Structure 1
Amino acid sequence: MLGIDTGRARRLLAGLADGGWLARVRRGWYIVVPIEASEPREWREDPWVLAATLFAPGYVGGWSAAEHWGFTDQIFRTIYVVAGRTIRPRSQTVQGTHFIIRTVPERTLFGTRRVWRGQVPVNVSDPHRTVIDVLDVPASGGGALHASEVLEAYFGSEHVDPAGLLEYGDRLGRGTVFKRLGYLVERKGMADADFVEACRSRITAGISRIEPDRPAGGRIVSRWNLRVNVVQLASEDLVA
C-alpha cells in the first residue's frame, strides 16, 4: 500500500509493534492494538478472530462450536478449527492460545453460521454440522463418550432438526457417521423409529469403531456394524 520494499515494510511494522500500535501474532502477521488498551504489549486478540484470519478458509468447529451452541458444560482451553487448506503444524500456539487445526477438502466447508466477534465476522459450524463433525471425527468433540453427550444435548435443544442431520450426513457422504448417529440415538431413545431406520438404511458395510483412536476391543453391535470400544458406552449396549 505504501509502495515501499519488503525490508523497509518489515522495519516499519516492527517499529509500530515496539511502540505498542501493533501486536505481532507470528512472523509476518500483525494486528492493530485498540487505542484504549491499557497495556499494549500485553494485549491479545480474540482467539476466534485469530482463527478466522490465520487459518482461512474454514470455521471454528468441534468442541469449540459445541461450547458456542450450549451442547457441553465442559470448558476447553484449546480452539478447534476446521480448515479447507493444509495447515502445518496442525497444533499451534498463537498469542498464548492453543489451536488444533484439522484439514478437510474445501468443498466440505458447508453448514456454517457467521457470528460477530466485535467487528470481525467469524464462521462457526452450525448446530447440525457441529453434531455431524463430532460423529465423523469423535476426537474433535473430545472423544466418543463426549460426542454422545453433545448429541443428546442437541436433541434436547431448540436447534434439533433430525432431517437436517440426515441431509448433512448425506452431503458429507460418510456411512460411519450414520452408524454412530443411529446407534447412539437408538441407545438413548432420542428420536423416533423412522429416524433410526433412516440411519440404518445409510450405513456402509464393514465394522467401524465408535472411537477410532482407541484399540479395537469391545463387542460388535451387528445391527449397526459398529464396534463399541468405549467401556462407558458398551455397558449399556443394545442387544445386537
Structure 2
Amino acid sequence: MKRDATTLPASRARLASVLRAAREVVSVDIASKTLGMERREAAKLLSRWQGQGWLRRIGHGLYVPVPLDLASSEQVVADPWVLVPTLFGQCYIGGWTAAHHWELTEQLFNETFVCTTRRVTRKQVTAQGTTFLLHHIPPKRLFGLKTLWRGAIKITISDPARTLIDMIAVPEVGGGIDHVVDCLSAYLRGKTADRELLIRYAEQFGNGAVFKRLGFLADTQLDDKKLAEECRARLTHGNARLDTSLRAAKLITAWHLWVPETWKAQTP
C-alpha cells in the first residue's frame, strides 16, 4: 500500500500531536496525557526526541521544540517569558523586569526577575540563554497582578503599583533604593498614578517597613506630602533600614528609619 504524501509517519504524527498540545513548552505530563501512555514511557520518548534533535531540554522533564532553521543554535525560544509559568509554577514576573515593562524605568537588566511561591533552592536559573532571578513569596501575596498573553501562553506580571510595593519592601528586587526612587517618581508623575492603591497594597502586603520607606521617600525625596501623611498614619513601632544592603548611618526618628551615609545630605 502506497502512503499518501500528506500522511506523517507514526512517530512524527505523535510528535506533532504533542507539540500542538504543548504550544510552547513540552512536559512529561503533557506527552503522557496526549499520547495516553505512562509517564515513564513518555519521559523516555521525549528523551529520544531530544536525541534526534526535535526537542531541546530546558529543565527537569521540560523541553522546547527546535525549529528547523535553529537546529544548531543554543537559543530556540524567541520570547523567554513563555518559559516562566512552566519553569516556576505559581509565580509572576516582577521587580525591575516589571518596572521596565510598565515604563517606570528605561534601565535594562540582564536578568529576568520572577517571584514564585515555590521553594527557592537556587536564586539564579538559566534556561534557553536567559538568566532568571528568583524571589520566594508566600501565596497570600499573590495580588495586584495582571495577565499578559504571549501567543498561547498566559503570563502573570505585577501591576505598576504592586511592582513598586515589592521593590520598596525589598529594594534589592528593584535594583537598589536609588533606582526604586526613580521608578516611584516616574509612577507618581504619570497620569495613571494611584496613591490610594499604593496604600491599599502596602496594607495588604503586611510589612511595616514598607510604610516607613514609602513615607520617607514621599516626604523627603518626592515632595508628596499627601502620600507621606497617609504613610505616617500607618507607622508601626521599631526601626527599619532604608536599604538592607547599605550600611545605615543616621536614624530618621520621624520615620523610624535608618538611612545610609550618602543620604544624610538629602534628608532635612
Same fold? TM cut 0.5: yes
Query: Is the CA contact 2:70–2:76 (under 8 Å) kept in the aligned structure 1?
Result: no
Give the counterpart letter for 1:198 in structure 2.
Answer: E
What is the alpha-carbon distance in structure 2 between the residues aligned to residue 206 and residue 166 of structure 1?
Answer: 20
Once residues 5 and 174 of structure 1 are traced to their aligned partners in structure 2, the CA distance between those partners, rounded to angstroms, is 46
* Structure 1: 4+ residue segments shifted above 6 A: none
RMSD of the TM alignment (CA)?
A: 1.7
Paired position in structure 1 for 2:196? 163
In structure 2, give the amino acid aligned to 1:237: T
Which residue among 175, 180, 186 is the counterpart of 2:208?
Answer: 175
Query: Quick one: distance in 1 between partners of 2:47 and 2:223?
Result: 56
In structure 1, what is the equivalent of residue 265 of structure 2? 235
Unaligned runs of at least 5 residues, structure 2: 1-32
Does residue 219 in structure 1 map to residue 250 in structure 2?
Answer: yes
Shift of 1:5: 4.0
Alpha carbons of 1:234 and 1:49: their partners in 2 closer, same or farther (altered >3 Å)? Answer: farther
Given the alignment, which residue of 82, 95, 117 partners 1:49? 82
Name the larger-Rg structure: 2
Following the alignment from structure 1 to structure 2, what is the Cα–Cα distance between the partners of residues 208 and 151?
19
1:41 Cα shift? 4.3
SS class of match (1:38): helix
Match of 1:150 in 2: 183
TM-score w.r.t. length of structure 2: 0.81
Post-superposition CA distance 1:63-118 (Å, at most 9, x none): 00011011111110101111122132122111221111111111111001001222
| Distance in structure 2 (CA, Å) of the matches to 1:41 and 1:234 | 55
Instruction: Give, in whole Å, the separation in 2 of the partners of 1:53 and 1:158.
Output: 35
Between the aligned partners of 2:76 and 2:191, the Cα distance in structure 1 is 34
Residues 121 and 3 of structure 1: CA distance in aligned 2, closer, same or farther (over 3 Å): closer
* One-letter code aligned to 1:107: K
TM-score (norm 1): 0.90
CA distance in 2, matches of 1:164, 1:146: 21
CA distance in 1, matches of 2:117, 2:223: 32
**How far apart, in 2, do the equivalents of 1:7 and 1:162 lie?**
52
The equivalent of 1:196 in structure 2 is 228
Counterpart Cα distance in 1 of 2:190 and 2:36: 54
Q: Which residue of 1 aligns with 2:116?
A: 83
Aligned length: 233
Are positions 1:39 and 2:74 aligned together? Answer: no
Equivalents in 1 of 2:214, 2:220: separation in Å?
Answer: 10
- Extract unaligned runs of 5+ from structure 1: none
| Closer/same/farther in 2, CA of residues 230 and 15 from structure 1, 3 Å limit | farther
Greater Cα offset, 37-46 or 78-87:
37-46
- In the alignment, the residues of structure 2 paired with residue 83 and residue 8 of structure 1 have an alpha-carbon distance, to the nearest angstrom, of 30
Name the SS of the counterpart of 1:130 in structure 2.
Answer: helix
Q: Aligned to 2:58, which of 17, 20, 25?
A: 25
Please give the alpha-carbon distance, in whole angstroms, between the structure 1 residues aligned to 2:261 and 2:114.
25
CA distance in 2, matches of 1:39, 1:209: 49
Give 1:12 deviation, angstroms: 1.5
1:67 maps to which residue?
100
| Inter-CA distance 131–190: structure 2 relative to 1 (3 Å threshold) | farther
Distance 2:261 2:210 in 1: 17
Q: Once the 2 structures are TM-superposed, how far is the Cα of residue 128 of structure 1 from its aligned partner? A: 0.4
Structure 1 residues 149 and 39, CA gap change in structure 2 (3 angstroms): same
State the identity as a percent: 36
SS in 1 for 2:245: coil
Tell me whether 1:125 sits opposite 2:125 in the alignment: no
